[in-house]
Structure 1
Amino acid sequence: MSVDAKYHATAIATGGRDGRSRTTDGSLDIKMTVPKELGGPGGEGNNPEQLFAAGYSACFLGAMKAVAPKLNLTVPKDATVEATIGIGPRSEGGFGITADLSIHLPGFSKEDAKKLVETAHQVCPYSNATRNNVNVGLKIV
């Protein structure tokens, strides 16, 4: 598989899960904190799972907007995608992630919503990156 990348984002992390992460263009600079559930202090700061959830939800909504015209549909302005990313030990060893997306498409029939979500799931870069490695749950709410 080859990708003709049109854009590159670069971030630098220091200190790992309890350090800082920043983009090289200076647009993002955040404190990283290990959640209490993973043995850390919790509190102020973010973690990689939160960043993944924010990115996946925004990207999936963008994918729906990109494919909607081809399906003769229009994504409503109040549409939302909520991504829930989990992390924990894998039975095979190491750690793994889970991903669940809840998609809200006000005014859509179940049939149109399903068609849009399934099509977006085939083109979304996050969906393609996780396919066959992470089970992604898709729920239309």
Structure 2
Amino acid sequence: MSEKIVYTTAAVNTGARAGESHSPDRSYEVNIDVPKEMGGKGEGTNPEQLFAMGYSACYHAALDHYKKEENIDNASQVTLTVHLHKDPSDGGFKLSVEIEVGIKDMPEEKVQKLAEKAHTYCPYSKATMGNIEVDVKAVPFVEGK
């Protein structure tokens, strides 16, 4: 890759879906566990939750980029839902994502346009494009959500 690298990070996992993950400097550590819905104890977070948190934060930063570009300072919220599906092609699993975007006091048509622009800009969206199903839609802003 010829582009300039601006940041690099890593994560270490032991125990797979029933273990522990941490940053190499141990500034972030989290217990990983299989969700109850999949037969686990559900006593920790799981890879899908971590993916949803990272993707939602990254996507919201992309949305803020376009809000700033258009001089919009209304509050916004991004709810990103990750679905884990059975993959009939190999018996494993695959992901899909729903991104719901609300911007306070803004018509949903305008929110939808900004949401779609953010989707083309966000690094997570670029990484998933063409690889998993991602649905981006405007929703009403809910105070305190």
Give TM-score scaled by structure 2 length: 0.87
CA distance, structure 1, for counterparts of residue 73 and residue 85 of structure 2? 34
Give yes or no for contact 1:75–1:105 (8 Å, CA) kept in 2: no
TM superposition shift of 1:39: 2.1
- CA RMSD, 1 decimal: 1.5
Other-structure match for 2:108: 110
Where does residue 123 of structure 1 map in the other structure? Answer: 121
Mapping of 1:56-71 within 5 angstroms?
A: 56-70=55-69
- The secondary structure found in structure 2 opposite 1:102 is strand
Q: Offset at 1:35?
A: 0.7
Q: CA deviation at 1:17?
A: 0.5
Instruction: Give the match for residue 143 of structure 2.
Output: none
Counterpart of 2:15 in structure 1 is: 15
Query: 2:49 aligned with 1:50, yes or no?
Result: yes
**What is the aligned partner in structure 1 of residue 95 from structure 2?**
97
Give yes or no for contact 2:63–2:115 (8 Å, CA) kept in 1: yes
1:88 corresponds in structure 2 to 85
Matches of 2:100 and 2:116 in 1, distance apart? 13
CA distance in 1 between counterparts of 2:2 and 2:115 reads 25
Distance 1:75 1:89 in 2: 41
Q: Which residue of 2 aligns with 1:6?
A: 6
CA distance in 2, matches of 1:58, 1:29: 18
Q: CA shift at 1:37, angstroms? A: 1.8
Note if contact 1:64-1:75 (Cα within 8 Å) is conserved in structure 2. Answer: no
CA 1:2–1:130: 2 relative to 1, 3 Å: farther
| Separation in 2, partners of 1:119, 1:14 | 38
User: Aligned residues: percent identity?
Assistant: 38
**What is the deviation of 1:2?**
5.3
Number of aligned residue pairs: give it: 138
- What amino acid sits opposite 1:136 in the alignment? V
